Homo-oligomer: A and B are copies of this chain.
């Protein structure tokens, strides 16, 4: 192996996830693949003409761009061949990476020395609701007595905010929102000594004030990126959807529950979610996930969404909160999996194009919170607190860490981490 790979690395030769990184010495973001504890700089390889020996001919300048959009838009036959060629560069003793030490040095960066960026220029972001448990736990008050019938026929999804999608590691400032004065210990009066008396009075009169959320939460999700765009008013059938999916990342759909409650009906969360969503920086391709395909449980689905065979993936996800303050408390943990999603990636994409909605390269589609029935698999604090009331909503300096994995730690592939630390509100 041209680059050493620790046995328990999420980024084994079987993985080869794509991302966009920069370094102190070269601040320009550029494409790379993660391998062990290193990054292989694809821009260096492209500029050296190394990809001319790849079995498919493609414009290798796409690997010098600041996003993966142009590369992913080439389509799966090409991107799969490029990934396979990178695997051969790393593993074959006759490859330039083995024979040319200068090249190897120039195209190898330690992950710890790199800054990761968003992998794609994201045009639109959509988030589905896919977990029956999450739906039961969070939407039972909205007239959904029968979650199965009501929440999944038709599937439910919403557009989300793109401007605040962040790469893992970006701190999250506790959001401020429109909160009922009585429910909020930090009322307007407490917050800002120089608020005009007139405004304070109005806040009391209306019963609402501007206050930092007391119920900051996470939602543990997976999400996939679109590769080849679709035409406007083109419906993509379930069996053709994989032609349009590049790969998968972890997604933290940060949520402020007390801001969410009054604004939820009839349009769903707005300021309660639009302040931040964090994704893991390495995009695990469908090719890497292929060995982990499994049958999707038979579920009641409309005819246009029937998805047979090995339609989903055996992806495990975990979350933990690393407490920022050394007070004794019960910290939140969970372990779940993609199987808890009612819908497969393929069904989500097919449904999304049903009315003719156009998909562009780099569009991001989230699964929704992946909570399972078991109380150890609840993927948000608002759900965990129903069973573990001592688990507090996120405190300042708390860090939330998600991971995901397919197969065993030895021989499997990982997604790396999706992290974010909470900073105090700005008042």
Contact = CB atoms under 8 A, between A and B. Distances in A.
A398 to B, nearest CB: 17
A356 B175 contact: yes
Contact of A232 (B164, B208, B357): B164
B356 A173 contact: yes
A351 interface: yes
Nearest to A354: B271
A408 interface: no
Interface in A282-309: 300-304, 306
A162 interface: yes
Contact of A154 (B124, B160, B178, B200): B178
Number of copies of chain A assembled together: 2
A203 B275 CA distance: 40
A262 B153 CA distance: 8
Interface string A189-231: 0000001001110110010111000000000000000000000
Contact of A144 (B176, B232, B266): B266
A154 B263 contact: yes
B161 A124 contact: yes
B266 A142 contact: yes
Given A175-B356, A303-B188, A271 B200 contact: no
B176 A355 contact: yes
A294 to B, nearest CB: 23
A28 interface: no
A206 B275 contact: no
A123 B235 contact: no
Interface residues on A, range: 35 or more
Nearest to A156: B267
A388 interface: no
A203 B162 CA distance: 35
B154 A355 contact: no
A426 interface: yes
A354 B164 CA distance: 13
A160 B357 CA distance: 12
B124 A275 contact: no
A279 interface: no
Contacts of A123: 162-163
A159 interface: yes
Interface stretch (A112-120, A327-335, A358-366): A358-366
Given A157-B270, A178-B154, A355-B271, A233 B426 contact: yes
Residue in A199, A233, A352, A359 whose Cβ sees the most chain B Cβ within 10 Å: A233
Given A267-B158, A268-B266, A275 B357 contact: yes
A274 interface: yes
Nearest to A353: B271
Contacts of A233: 173, 175, 275, 426
Contacts of A208: 153-154, 302
A77 interface: no
A376 interface: no
Contact of A210 (B129, B173, B304, B357): B304
Contact of A158 (B157, B158, B363): B158
Residue in A153, A206, A266 whose Cβ sees the most chain B Cβ within 10 Å: A266
B270 A156 contact: yes
Interface in A161-191: 161-164, 173, 175-178, 188
Which 4 residue pairs across A and B have the least CB separation, nearest first? A175-B355, A267-B268, A199-B303, A154-B178
Interface of A: 123-125, 129, 139, 142-144, 153-154, 156-164, 173, 175-178, 188, 195, 198-200, 202-203, 206, 208-210, 232-233, 235, 256, 259, 262-268, 270-272, 274-276, 300-304, 306, 351-352, 354-360, 363, 426
18 contacts: A124-B161, A129-B267, A156-B263, A156-B267, A158-B158, A162-B162, A163-B360, A164-B358, A173-B356, A178-B354, A195-B303, A198-B303, A199-B306, A206-B302, A266-B266, A271-B354, A274-B355, A276-B356
